[in-house]
Every structure is written in C-alpha cells, then in structure tokens.
C-alpha cells in the first residue's frame, strides 16, 4: 500500500523517534511507559482531546495541529504551576491517512517537544472511519503541595490575566470568515493566536506561592473564572474596561463595535487567569516581567453571600454584561 | 433538552462520583489531577482506545463496554507487574447520547473501580459526530526496577501463558455469527470471555523477579510473543499441542477442526504471555496456584541466529503453522 504504513510500521517510523532518549518511554517497545519522581515532587496529569470538524478543520496543517494539541495540554499544566515533563498520545486515524500527513504531524510534535522540553512517553493508535480524534495526556512536575488549584480564591483577592484577551476568539472569526478592512498584519496576528496559542509555561511555574488560584483560558474569561469561583465558593467581578486587548483586537473592534463582546467572551486564548492576595501583587508583577509577560488586574474576588458562586463582568456604569459565560460543546 | 446533559452537568452528575474519595483527582474541579509516589516506587502508564464499530459494536451494553475498556488497560499494567492505581478517561461522544447510556457506562466503571481498587483521576469529554471514541490512560505502581519488560527474554527461557488461549477469538465468532450445535453453556463462556476479559492483575503483580519478559495477549499469542522477541532480540518456538484450550474451545473445535487455527491465532484473550529462566518455573507454578490461575509452558526462547527475531508455532511434526501473526488494525 503505497503511501500508507501498518500500525506497527507507523509506530516504528513516526513515533519511536519522538520517544528517543527518554528512558521512561522504554523505546515504545512495551505497551506502557515508566515514570519515577523524587519524593519531593508530585506529578500533575491533564488530558485534552480534539475532534476533526469540532475543534479543528479538516484542512488544518498537521504540524500546526500537532503543536496546538500539545499546547492546550501544556496550558493546563501551566495553570497548575507545573513544569512540563512528558505526554502520551492517542490517535484515532482514518485508514487512508497519508504518511505525508503523519510525517508533518510528527514534525510538529518534535518541534514543540524541543521548545517545551517534553518527551513522548507512550500512547495508542487506532483506526476510525472518521472524524479523526487526537488526544494527549500531559504530565508535569511540581514540588509537593505547591500546585496551584482552582479552589484557592478568597474574597479580597485580585483577579489577574496574563497577556491579552480575546485574540483567540477574534482570530477564529478572522481565520474562518475573514474580516474585511482589517490590516493584513493584524489578520496574521489574530489568526496566529487562534491557530497556535502560546501557553504560559514559564509564568505558570513562577506562580506557586504567589497565585492563590489559577485556570487557563479555554472556555472564556468569565467561563473559566466561573470554574475558579465554584471551586472556591466565592464570586468574582471583572471590569470590562480593565480587560487588556491587543492592538489588532482594538483595530478589529474599531471596525465594528460588536467584536468587543466576542473579545470579552473569549474562548481560546490559553492565557492564565489567576487570583492573588493584594500583598502578592508586587512580587507577581516582578516575576511576570522576568518572564516577559504582561499581567493585568482585571477584577476582584468577593463573597458569594449565600448565592451560587459566579463570575460576572461589568461595564463602566456597573451594569453586568450578559452572554459571556463561555463555550459549551453540547 | 430532555434526557441530555451539558458537558459540565455531565461531569458533575456522572463523573465526579467516580473520583470521590481519591485525593489526587481534586474532585475533578481542576483541569488536572495530582499524583504522589514514595521514592521507592515507579509509575507505570499505559493507554488503550476503543472505537465504536471497530473495537465494539454500536449496540454493546454500555456497562460491559466500560468494564472492557478499563480491563484492557489493566491487562497492560498486569503485564508490567504493576499494581492498579488510577486512570484518566477521554470520551468523544455523539451529541445525542442519552443520559441513560452514560449512567450505565458510569455504573460499569464504578463496578470495576471497586473490583480492581482503582480510581478516576481526571479526563476530558468532547463532542464528535461519531463514531464514539473511548480512551483510558491507566496508572499502576511498581517497586523501582521491578517492572517486567518485553525486552528481558533470553535463549533458554521457557515461554508460558496464563489461563486458556483462543477463547476471546472464538467468543467473537460465537457472539457475532453464532455457531450452530455449540452447547449453550459453552456459548455463554466463550462469548463472555470475548465481551469481558478477566485481566491477570493478581498474577502480574506476583511475577516481578520471576518472569524475565512479559506481554498481555491482545494481538494473539504469536503476535504478542513476536513483540517480546523483537524487543529482546531473540526468537521463540511454541508447540501448538501444548497451547492450553478451554473445554468450550475444544467443543467448538470438535464441531469443525478449522476453529483450531482461530483459537491458536487468538487475539483478544488478555491473558499473560511471559518467559522465565528454567530455575524460576517451580516458584512461578507456586505463585500461580496461589492466585488460582493455571500457567502452562508452551514453548521456548531460542537464539535469533542472525535472523530477524520472530515467534513461530509448530505442530507435532515440527512444521511451522502459517497465518498466526496477530491482528493489524490497518
């Protein structure tokens, strides 16, 4: 069968090189990998899957797709304050997938393995009539008791975000539908932020002991802050005017003010949202500068006051903005 | 939407109870779980995925399906000599999946969590137009350096199998096509062995220090022994007449001798195949008896003699039986 490999050939040709040099992967010749940790460290484990046609389009370049798959998982590790370590890969592929597609997919993985210092530990490859389903389980390391949880927010905490908000959501519209009148450089920036997020791996590792609670932004600012609120039993108020927007996002909003709500709802930024006691803010600004990352206070944690914990965003007049609750896949 | 839950409701209602009481799962409120291990132990990690229509039929009862999904992963842990610990679950489900299906699926997981002493650590749930894709990454614990690898076989080793061989492969035919003339009790036994394998979790944990190399039987006896041979750089000869067959398998072969080859090729037994130095055989028989498991010497490891390492099966006259190389999904 020209241009296609059997499952075992595939593992040999495409996946084994990704595990080379990482002892725990056992050369992918066993059906399992092995990890050892010093007693002072804990292992953080996270899983994210992507389905063709739901989370990405069929024509997505496979190298970029592979990198995004890794990065959305690395973003979860960053939110816990963990150092990236290794990952397992589960591929449900259509039988007629070309070796050239696999080669590009693997090249993307190899590139980000090097960029983020992670290794392939193992995985499984199965056949499906389609759509393709790609899943990564990522492993990070953190000193015992130092991981940042969603449940640590307390009334009086500041709410902060890294980077700029809304670029991913706007970038999806730019990439999928086009936005007439938008500067070509801004098109590239926004589409790039959607296609290939830049997880805050370095900042995340600097936050244990400084951040009280954290999540990564995959369901939108209010959606993900809502997860923190429910886990912590608190509520949160975010001021829309304090949410940091990139210059390209501001340009797009200048073309049509309705894009502002898309930006504020967000959904695919893979920035960090976190809370901190006020006395930690100066230290946080210092470590963020050290990472070359902008962090911005956008709101505060308040008592839930017997109500269901919730996150909300208010405009300059104090009115709550509606319809920003984040994406639900179903 | 009657009878359906949103993703977050689903996690709350169906998955959180599976993680209750397991500290590392953090109540599933974070996007990650956390594991700590004593410095004396290693973590064994394995992944197996199942696709509807490929690895199981659409009408498969969800509780049994869930248990099989866990068990094929537990079987991989058993082959490494590891103690089951916890697992992550990735579900790619169709949007119209009924809550009743999910409830039964979760009941199956809960049942086998109790049976095997494992816990849900985390996971991801995504939407797919179908087919459903189910994936588990399972974690086991083993004392450092005690895991059994595929690469430990040496010439002179005996080749052993646990239980009986071929029941899974025959059971698939019985369940899918029916076999006229087969006793109803034998139909139940063989179909049951296919639908719900019984991974050799206890035996596996007793084998470190005794077995030299091991794998679980998912690709067939010769297919999986071939993995051991290639990993170890040796070859293997199995005598067909020594391969243990169950009474129901022998009844089915008595109806039509062609079933014998199906049984010997196997494919879905989830028994263990392992090698051992001759001086370990008495101790292995003793621990197997302690586990209530039959183990049988079926062949021997030989030098590859400069040839490609391979496993083969010979009949009583010494002729190599062909076409037993195991299943390939593509």
Mean pLDDT of B89-118: 94
% helix, strand, coil for chain A, step of 5: 40, 25, 35
What's CA B60's distance to the chain center, in Å? 18
Q: Does residue A200 form part of some domain?
A: yes
Interface test with B, best of A19, A31, A141 (most B CBs within 10 A): A31
Residue A159's pLDDT is: 98
CB pair distance less than 8 Å for A7 and B128 = no
Number of A/B CB contacts below 8 angstroms equals 201
Least confidently predicted of A3-12, A113-122, B165-174: A3-12
Is B173 a residue whose pLDDT tops 80? yes
Mean pLDDT of B282-299: 98
Mean pLDDT of A42-50: 95
- Binned at pLDDT 50, 70 and 90, residue A174 comes out as very high
Residue B328's pLDDT is: 37
Domain that holds residue A231: 150-314
Residue that has been written with the tokens 């916890």 in this structure:
B86
**Parallel, antiparallel or unpaired: strands A83-93 and A41-51:** unpaired
Q: Does residue B328 form part of some domain?
A: no
Q: In this structure, are residues A161 and A271 in contact, taking their beta carbons and an 8 Å threshold? A: yes
Residue B58's pLDDT is: 87
Mean pLDDT of A98-110: 95
* Angle at the Cα of B65 from the Cα atoms of B61 and B71, rounded to 5 degrees: 150
- Binned at pLDDT 50, 70 and 90, residue A1 comes out as very low
Residue B182's pLDDT is: 96
Q: Write out chain B residues lying below 8 Å of A140, CB-based.
A: 32
- Binned at pLDDT 50, 70 and 90, residue A328 comes out as very low
Residue A270, min C-alpha distance to chain B (Å):
13
Rounded to 5 degrees, φ, ψ at A111 are -60, -45
B55 and B106 share one domain: yes
Is B169 a residue whose pLDDT tops 80? yes
- Number of structural domains found in chain A: 2
- Binned at pLDDT 50, 70 and 90, residue A181 comes out as very high
Residue B330's pLDDT is: 25
Q: Which of B193, B123, B135 is nearest to B163 (CA)?
A: B193
User: Percent of chain B at pLDDT above 90?
Assistant: 80
B106 and B179 share one domain: no
Q: Does residue B324 form part of some domain?
A: no
Residue A259's pLDDT is: 95
Residue A323's pLDDT is: 82
Contacts of B226 (CB under 8 A, 6+ apart): B236, B309, B310, B311, B325, B326
CB pair distance less than 8 Å for B128 and A126 = no
- Angle between the A167-177 and A247-255 helix axes, to the nearest 10 degrees? 60
Higher pLDDT, residue B1 or A120: A120
B200 and B271 share one domain: yes
Q: Which residues pair with B311 in a beta bridge?
A: B236
Nearest by CB to residue B54, choosing from A36, A126, A135, is A126
Q: Where a domain ends, among A95, A121, A143? A: A143
A129 and A174 share one domain: no
Higher pLDDT, residue A131 or B330: A131
CB pair distance less than 8 Å for B36 and A43 = yes
- Binned at pLDDT 50, 70 and 90, residue B11 comes out as confident
Q: Does residue A174 form part of some domain?
A: yes
> Which helix (H) or strand (E) element contains residue B111?
helix B99-116
Q: Does residue B2 form part of some domain?
A: no
Q: Where a domain ends, among A114, A143, A172? A: A143
- Binned at pLDDT 50, 70 and 90, residue B278 comes out as very high
Domain harbouring B56, CATH code: 3.30.1330.10
Nearest by CB to residue A330, choosing from B37, B38, B95, is B95
Least confidently predicted of B8-17, B76-85, B99-108, B249-258: B8-17
Q: Does residue A326 form part of some domain?
A: no
Residue A25's pLDDT is: 85
Distance CA B282, CA B158 (A): 12
CB pair distance less than 8 Å for A50 and B216 = no
A139 and A154 share one domain: no
Q: Write out chain A residues lying below 8 Å of B46, CB-based.
A: 31-33, 122
Residue A327's pLDDT is: 47
- Binned at pLDDT 50, 70 and 90, residue B32 comes out as confident
Distance CA A95, CA A93 (A): 6
Residues 239-298 of chain A with CB under 8 A from chain B are none
Distance CA A248, CA A266 (A): 15
Length of chain B: 330
- Binned at pLDDT 50, 70 and 90, residue A3 comes out as low
Q: Write out chain B residues lying below 8 Å of A219, CB-based.
A: none
Show the beta-strand stretches assigned E in A41-97.
41-51, 83-93
Residue B7's pLDDT is: 65
- Angle between the B62-79 and B99-116 helix axes, to the nearest 10 degrees? 30
**Parallel, antiparallel or unpaired: strands A119-127 and A83-93:** parallel
Domain harbouring A189, CATH code: 3.90.650.10
Residue that has been written with the tokens 């025959």 in this structure:
B170
Q: Where a domain ends, among A143, A176, A209? A: A143
- Binned at pLDDT 50, 70 and 90, residue B266 comes out as confident
Is B290 a residue whose pLDDT tops 70? yes
CB pair distance less than 8 Å for B30 and A231 = yes
pLDDT tens figures, A257-298: 999 999 999 888 999 999 999 999 999 999 999 999 999 999
Residue B329's pLDDT is: 33
- Angle between the A167-177 and A184-195 helix axes, to the nearest 10 degrees? 110
Mean pLDDT of chain B: 92
A178 and A109 share one domain: no
Rounded to 5 degrees, φ, ψ at B222 are -70, -35
CB pair distance less than 8 Å for A231 and B122 = no
Predicted ipTM? 0.88
B168 and B246 share one domain: yes
Residue A21's pLDDT is: 84
Q: Write out chain A residues lying below 8 Å of B94, CB-based.
A: none
Residue B323's pLDDT is: 82
Q: In this structure, are residues B44 and A34 in contact, taking their beta carbons and an 8 Å threshold? A: yes
A190 and A81 share one domain: no
Find, in chain B, the residue whose alpha carbon is nearest to that of A233: B29
Residues 157-216 of chain A with CB under 8 A from chain B are 215-216
B199 and B115 share one domain: no
Is B200 a residue whose pLDDT tops 80? yes
Contacts of residues A101-107 at CB distance under 8 Å and 24 or more positions apart, as own/partner, are A101/A62, A102/A5, A102/A10, A102/A14, A102/A62, A103/A14, A104/A61, A104/A62, A104/A63, A104/A66, A105/A14, A105/A62, A105/A63, A105/A65, A105/A66, A106/A14, A106/A15, A106/A17, A106/A18, A106/A66, A107/A63, A107/A66
CB pair distance less than 8 Å for B44 and A32 = yes
B98 and B199 share one domain: no
- Binned at pLDDT 50, 70 and 90, residue B24 comes out as confident
- Binned at pLDDT 50, 70 and 90, residue B181 comes out as very high
B162 and B84 share one domain: no
Q: In this structure, are residues B40 and B145 in contact, taking their beta carbons and an 8 Å threshold? A: no
CB pair distance less than 8 Å for A88 and B47 = yes
Is B152 a residue whose pLDDT tops 90? yes
Mean pLDDT of A71-100: 95
Give SS3 for A111.
helix
Residue A24's pLDDT is: 86
Q: Does B231 touch chain A (CB under 8 A)?
A: yes
Q: Does residue B239 form part of some domain?
A: yes
Q: Write out chain A residues lying below 8 Å of B5, CB-based.
A: 330
Least confidently predicted of A126-135, A202-211, B1-10, B291-300: B1-10
Q: Half-sphere exposure of A220 toward its Cβ, with a 13 Å CA cutoff?
A: 22
- Binned at pLDDT 50, 70 and 90, residue A23 comes out as confident
Q: What is the pTM of this model?
A: 0.91
A290 and A166 share one domain: yes
């Amino acid at each position: 069968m020209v241009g296609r490999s059997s499952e075992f050939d595939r593992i040999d040709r495409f996946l084994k090189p990704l595990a080379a040099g990482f002892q725990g992967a056992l050369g992918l010749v066993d059906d399992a990998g092995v990890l050892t940790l010093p007693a002072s460290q804990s292992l953080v484990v996270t899983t994210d899957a992507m389905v063709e046609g739901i989370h990405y389009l069929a024509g997505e370049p496979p190298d970029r797709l592979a990198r995004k798959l890794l990065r959305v998982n690395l973003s979860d590790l960053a939110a816990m304050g963990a150092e990236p370590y290794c990952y397992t890969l589960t591929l449900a592929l259509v039988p007629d997938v070309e070796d050239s597609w696999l080669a590009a997919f693997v090249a993307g993985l190899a590139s980000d393995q090097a960029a983020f210092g992670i290794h392939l530990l193992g995985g499984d490859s199965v056949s499906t009539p389609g759509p393709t389903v790609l899943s990564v389980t990522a492993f990070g390391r953190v000193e015992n008791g130092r991981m940042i949880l969603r449940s640590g927010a307390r009334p009086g905490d500041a709410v902060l975000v890294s980077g700029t908000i809304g670029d991913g959501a706007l970038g999806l519209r730019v990439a999928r539908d086009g936005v007439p009148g938008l500067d070509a450089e801004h098109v590239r920036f926004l589409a790039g932020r959607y296609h290939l997020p830049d997880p805050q791996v370095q900042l995340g590792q600097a936050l244990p002991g400084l951040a009280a609670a954290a999540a990564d932004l995959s369901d939108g600012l209010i959606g993900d802050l809502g997860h923190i609120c429910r886990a912590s039993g608190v509520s949160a108020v975010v001021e829309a005017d304090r949410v940091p927007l990139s210059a390209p996002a501001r340009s797009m909003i200048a073309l049509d003010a309705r894009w502002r709500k898309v930006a504020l709802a967000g959904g695919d930024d893979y920035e960090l949202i976190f809370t901190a006691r006020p006395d930690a803010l100066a230290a946080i600004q210092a470590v963020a500068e050290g990472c070359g990352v902008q962090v911005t206070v956008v709101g505060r944690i308040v008592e839930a006051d017997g109500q269901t914990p919730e996150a909300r965003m208010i405009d300059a007049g104090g009115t709550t903005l509606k319809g920003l609750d984040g994406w639900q896949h179903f």
